[in-house]
Amino acid sequence: MSAFSAVRIPFPAVVAARSAGEKPSSPFLCSPAAAPVIHSSPLRSPRLGRPPLAVTSDVLSSQKPLGSNSSPSCQAVISRDEALELYEDMVLGRFFEDMCAQMYYRGKMFGFVHLYNGQEAVSTGFIKLLETRDSVVSTYRDHVHALSKGVPARAVMAELFGKATGCCRGQGGSMHMFSEPHNLLGGFAFIGEGIPVATGAAFSSKYRYEVLKESNRDGLDVTVAFFGDGTCNNGQFLECLNMAQLWKLPIVFVVENNLWAIGMSHLRATSDPEIWKKGPAFGMPGVHVDGMDVLKVREVAVEAIARARNGEGPSLVECETYRFRGHSLADPDELRKADEKSHYAARDPIVGLKKYILEKNLASESELKAIEKKIDDIIEEAVEFADSSPPPPRSQLLENVFADPKGFGIGPDGKYRCEDPKFTEGTAQV
Amino acid sequence: MCHLKNIFHYINIELKGGVFFVVVTKPSPLPLLSLPIFPLAVLDFEIDRKMLGVARRKLGFGLFSATRVLPAGSVLPRKYSTAAKEITVREALNSALDEEMSADPKVFLMGEEVGEYQGAYKISKGLLEKYGPDRVLDTPITEAGFTGIGVGAAYYGLRPVVEFMTFNFSMQAIDHIINSAAKSNYMSAGQISVPIVFRGPNGAAAGVGAQHSQCYAAWYAHVPGLKVLSPYSSEDARGLLKAAIRDPDPVVFLENELLYGESFPVSAEVLDSSFCLPIGKAKIEREGKHVTITAFSKMVGYALQAAEILSKEGIDAEVINLRSIRPLDRATINASVRKTNRLVTVEEGFPQHGVGAEICMSVMEESFEYLDAPVERIAGADVPMPYAANLERMAVPQVDDIVRATKRACYRSVPMAAAA
- Decide if A190 and B391 are in contact by the 8 Å CB cutoff: no
For B116, nearest residue in chain A (alpha carbons): A263
Alpha helices in A171-293 (DSSP H): 194-210, 235-246, 266-269, 278-281
Residue B33 pLDDT > 60, yes or no?
A: no
Buried-state track A305-329, b at ≥16 Cβ within 10 A, e below 16: bbbbbeebbbbbbbbbbbbbbbbbb
Same domain membership, residue B246 and residue B151: yes
Residue B420 lies inside a defined structural domain of this protein:
no
Per the CB < 8 A criterion, the answer to whether A291 and A320 are in contact is yes
CA distance A43 to A247: 41
Q: Which residues of A touch B140 (CB under 8 A)?
A: 230, 233-234, 261, 264, 269-270
In this prediction, residues B158-177 reach a mean pLDDT of 96
Dihedral in degrees, nearest 10, Cα atoms B266, B271, B276, B279? 30
- Decide if A233 and B395 are in contact by the 8 Å CB cutoff: no
Residue A55 pLDDT > 90, yes or no?
A: no
- The total number of residues shown for chain B amounts to 420
Give the end of a domain, one of B71, B104, B119. B71
pLDDT at residue B163 in the model: 97
CA distance A289 to A343: 17
Count of CA atoms in the C-beta half-sphere (13 A) of A62 = 18
- Decide if A269 and B138 are in contact by the 8 Å CB cutoff: yes
Q: Which residues of A touch B142 (CB under 8 A)?
A: 233-235
Q: Which domain holds residue B322?
A: 283-413
Q: Could you give the percent of chain A with pLDDT greater than 90?
A: 67
pLDDT at residue B335 in the model: 97
Residue B348 lies inside a defined structural domain of this protein:
yes
- Decide if B140 and A391 are in contact by the 8 Å CB cutoff: no
Residue B320 φ/ψ, nearest 5 degrees: -110, 125
pLDDT at residue B78 in the model: 52
- Decide if B391 and A397 are in contact by the 8 Å CB cutoff: yes
For B169, nearest residue in chain A (alpha carbons): A190
Residue B139 pLDDT > 80, yes or no?
A: yes
Q: Choose between A289 and A424: higher pLDDT.
A: A289
For A263, nearest residue in chain B (alpha carbons): B117
Query: Tell me, what DSSP letter sits at residue A183?
Result: T
Same domain membership, residue B327 and residue B374: yes
What average pLDDT is seen over chain B?
84
* Least confident piece of the model among A3-12, A181-190, A308-317: A3-12
Model confidence band, residue B83 (pLDDT cutoffs 50, 70, 90):
low
Same domain membership, residue B161 and residue B138: yes
Q: Which residues of A touch B418 (CB under 8 A)?
A: 427-429
- Decide if A111 and B206 are in contact by the 8 Å CB cutoff: yes
Q: Could you give the percent of chain A with pLDDT greater than 70?
A: 81
- Decide if B138 and A188 are in contact by the 8 Å CB cutoff: no
Residue A45 pLDDT > 80, yes or no?
A: no
CA distance B61 to B65: 9
pLDDT, tens only, B209-226 = 999 999 999 999 999 999
Query: Tell me, what DSSP letter sits at residue B375?
Result: P
Q: Which residues of B touch A189 (CB under 8 A)?
A: 168, 209, 211-212
Strand B11-16 and strand B2-3: pairing? Answer: antiparallel
CA distance B212 to B201: 10
Same domain membership, residue B140 and residue B98: yes
Q: Which residues of A touch B419 (CB under 8 A)?
A: 428
Q: Which residues of A touch B145 (CB under 8 A)?
A: 233, 235
What CATH number is attached to the domain comprising B162? 3.40.50.970
Pick from A9-18, A168-177, B194-203 the range whose average pLDDT is largest.
B194-203
Residue B80 lies inside a defined structural domain of this protein:
no
Same domain membership, residue B264 and residue B291: no
Per the CB < 8 A criterion, the answer to whether B396 and B348 are in contact is yes
pTM of the model: 0.78
Same domain membership, residue B287 and residue B263: no
In this prediction, residues B405-416 reach a mean pLDDT of 74
Residue B114 lies inside a defined structural domain of this protein:
yes
Residue B256 pLDDT > 80, yes or no?
A: yes
Chain B nearest CA to A107, separation (Å): 12
Q: Could you give the percent of chain B with pLDDT greater than 90?
A: 76
pLDDT at residue A59 in the model: 36
Same domain membership, residue B64 and residue B203: no
Does B145 lie at the interface with A, CB-CB under 8 angstroms?
Answer: yes
Chain A nearest CA to B211, separation (Å): 6
Give the end of a domain, one of B16, B39, B71. B71
Residue B142 lies inside a defined structural domain of this protein:
yes
Give me the DSSP letters along A383-403.
HHHHHHSPPPPGGGGGTTSSS
Residue B79 lies inside a defined structural domain of this protein:
no
**ipTM exceeds 0.85:** no
* Count of structural domains, chain B: 3
Chain A nearest CA to B317, separation (Å): 29
Select from B141, B172, B420 the Cβ nearest to the Cβ of A430: B420
- Decide if B417 and A428 are in contact by the 8 Å CB cutoff: yes
pLDDT, tens only, B268-277 = 999 999 999 9
* Least confident piece of the model among A48-52, A88-92, B160-164, B302-306: A48-52
CA distance B14 to B21: 6
Same domain membership, residue B37 and residue B107: no
Same domain membership, residue B386 and residue B330: yes
pLDDT, tens only, A281-320 = 999 999 999 999 999 999 999 999 999 999 999 999 999 9
Same domain membership, residue B404 and residue B346: yes
Residue B73 pLDDT > 50, yes or no?
A: no
Residue B384 lies inside a defined structural domain of this protein:
yes
Same domain membership, residue B152 and residue B94: yes
- The total number of residues shown for chain A amounts to 430
Give the end of a domain, one of B244, B271, B298. B271
Which of A143, A190, A394 should we substitute to test contact with B (largest number of B Cβ atoms within 10 Å)? A190
Residue A4 pLDDT > 80, yes or no?
A: no
* Least confident piece of the model among A417-421, B201-205, B226-230, B340-344: A417-421
Residue B77 lies inside a defined structural domain of this protein:
no
Q: Which residues of B are catalytic?
A: 143, 212
Same domain membership, residue B292 and residue B257: no
- Decide if B388 and A391 are in contact by the 8 Å CB cutoff: yes
pLDDT, tens only, B284-304 = 999 999 999 999 999 999 999
Q: Which residues of B touch A269 (CB under 8 A)?
A: 138-141
Neighbours of A366 (CB within 10 A): 8
pLDDT, tens only, B300-335 = 999 999 999 999 999 999 999 999 999 999 999 999
What CATH number is attached to the domain comprising B409? 3.40.50.920
Which of B391, B393, B398, B401 should we substitute to test contact with A (largest number of A Cβ atoms within 10 Å)? B391
Model confidence band, residue A243 (pLDDT cutoffs 50, 70, 90):
very high
